Amino acid sequence: MPSPIETIKASSNFLRGNLPQELTDAAPGFSPEGEQLIKLHGFYAQKHREHKDAPPTAMGRGRIPGGRLSAAQYLVWDSLATQYGDGTLRFTTRQCIELHGLAKADMRAVVQALHVVKATTQGACGDVVRNVLYPANPTGRPEINALQKVAEQLSTHFLSRAAAYQEIWLEAPPSGAPESEPLMGSAYLPRKFKIALTLAGEDTLDVLSNDLGLAATLDASGAIEGWFVFAGGGQSMNFAGTAFPRLASLLGWVEAKALLPVAEALLGTFRDHGDRENRKRARLKYVLHDRGVDWARSEVETRAGICFTQRPLPPWQTPSSHGWQKGPDGTWALGLSLLCGRIEGELKGTLRRVLETHPVDVQLTAEQDLVLLGVPEAAKAEVSALLGHLAQPSPLWAQAVACIAQPLCAFAITEGERALPAVLADVEHVLADLELTDRAPVLRLTGCPNGCARPHAAEIGLIGQGIDKYALYLGGKGDRLAFHFAERVPRSEIGATLRPLLTRWKTEGQPGETFGDFAMRCLQVAP
């Protein structure tokens, strides 16, 4: 039997439901059905868990392919946070912007203000194709610019074909034309579907953690000749073991012209075979786990009318986007490290002044950071004086990621973003004692097992398992899942728990060996 959410979607008249009426009624929040439907328009209903008497609010998230924004677009997001939200912006691990604390009565005004600068919340949340990722491009590399065009094409292609978003939020008159959803179906997808693009051999996105990962190969001229296609990745899990993280499997390589048919075929496979009864297993990764990679490969080949070619993969590298980097046109990019992607207070004002004075493009990264693109030589000194300190944090802080967790996430078991600074300070103290500061591992922390900060792709992954307690995972990276090491580590003991492990790494590690590689080699507990 389909889950209740499936029934809501299927009977919603292509996501309209009663949203037009609910947006204008006197109730401060939405009905249970309305809370489900607004997800598919880019919003989540929120309740502040520490202010029990506070009225319900909403979080609005932008669909921003690759996190690329003009200065004008960024400034509108900034203004909306001040006018309608809680005064802060938050950058996500999917290169999106989130506004928190929105009143129901203001949601339509937010969408309409974004629409003026060609920004949108459509496709950012819910059981649809989510924001499409591609790497930061601080030096203006033409091959990454080519990825940008593909990401924008995919993002637009997989948007809802119905007119509910335009009617409800932009107040467009109904056309009366027949509607259909040829790609997602009238009940939309079983769960979310995530896409990431990168270059073969470069991975700053954890591309194998996506439902569809695409790695481009280039011909002699530098143009995209084809794609390695990976399917079935995801980081969410539970401690019962019935849900688990999975790396996307390589289906094979296809020519560039086959990309769209292959993407449609994989989406259709998920649409038709994803679990619509149990949402905890309603992701593409479980389809591949249950039916097998060979079955999935054959299914996509049949639907797309192609045959995958098997090629060897190049080894993965992870370029940095931090600091100043010069482009071929003589302009500069400045990559800023922003803890948890939170923009507030003095930083928010400074970024606004910089972009008002120097209207350069920006790009959000999958590590919750921001890159200013195309800074003129004449402005470099001024921008550096204002923001340069954010480009040179210690390696531990520069690489760390955390989810928002409490007090706004309904799934949070314990703290995420608010716990990270203290955890990093403790671990940094240990690294300093061991003279390992410059070799700091990647640390990621989440307040629950849903994996929003991609902890299973980190050398040190901390996953909320109780109030102020975290399960400890070690040894992960983009193409390797971390292994479980310890249960319910108190937040105050994380540094002490890691100290002997980091000490062993220093004394027993091989030259140049990362902590993650050392952990996989020496710290796994035998079954």
Bond into 407 cis (ω within 30): yes
Q: Has 340 been annotated as catalytic?
A: no
DSSP state of 246: B
Separation between Cα atoms, residue 155 and residue 135, nearest integer Å: 15
Separation between Cα atoms, residue 212 and residue 50, nearest integer Å: 37
Task: Specify the residue for token string 């048919």.
Answer: 261
Q: Has 194 been annotated as catalytic?
A: yes
Of the listed 9, 94, 194, 246, which one is catalytic? 194
Separation between Cα atoms, residue 183 and residue 180, nearest integer Å: 9
Which residues, in sequence order, are CB contacts of 507 under 8 Å at separation 6+? none
Closest by CA to 256, choosing from 285, 229, 286, is 229
Q: Has 452 been annotated as catalytic?
A: yes
Q: Has 506 been annotated as catalytic?
A: no
Of the listed 452, 454, 477, 491, which one is catalytic? 452
Separation between Cα atoms, residue 35 and residue 489, nearest integer Å: 35
- Both structure tokens of 230: 């990976």
Of the listed 16, 47, 192, 326, which one is catalytic? 192
Question: What is the distance of C-alpha 415 from the center of its chain?
Answer: 19
Q: Has 39 been annotated as catalytic?
A: no
Angstrom CA distances, 189 to 28, 80, 104, 166, stand at 29, 30, 26, 20
Amino acid identity, residue 183?
L
Of the listed 63, 246, 448, 491, which one is catalytic? 448
| 316-339 CB burial, b ≥16 within 10 A, e <16 | beeeebbebbebeeebbbbbbbbb
Q: Has 353 been annotated as catalytic?
A: no
The DSSP bridge partners found for residue 472 are 462, 486
Of the listed 39, 63, 130, 191, which one is catalytic? 130
Of the listed 68, 409, 444, 454, which one is catalytic? 409
Q: Has 448 been annotated as catalytic?
A: yes
Q: Has 326 been annotated as catalytic?
A: no
3-state per-residue secondary structure call for 161-219: CCCHHHHHHCCCCCCCCCCCCCCCCCCCCCCCECEEEEECCECCCCHHHCCEEEEEEEC
Of the listed 9, 39, 61, 444, which one is catalytic? 61
Of the listed 96, 125, 340, 403, which one is catalytic? 403
**Active site amino acids:** 61, 130, 192, 194, 403, 409, 448, 452
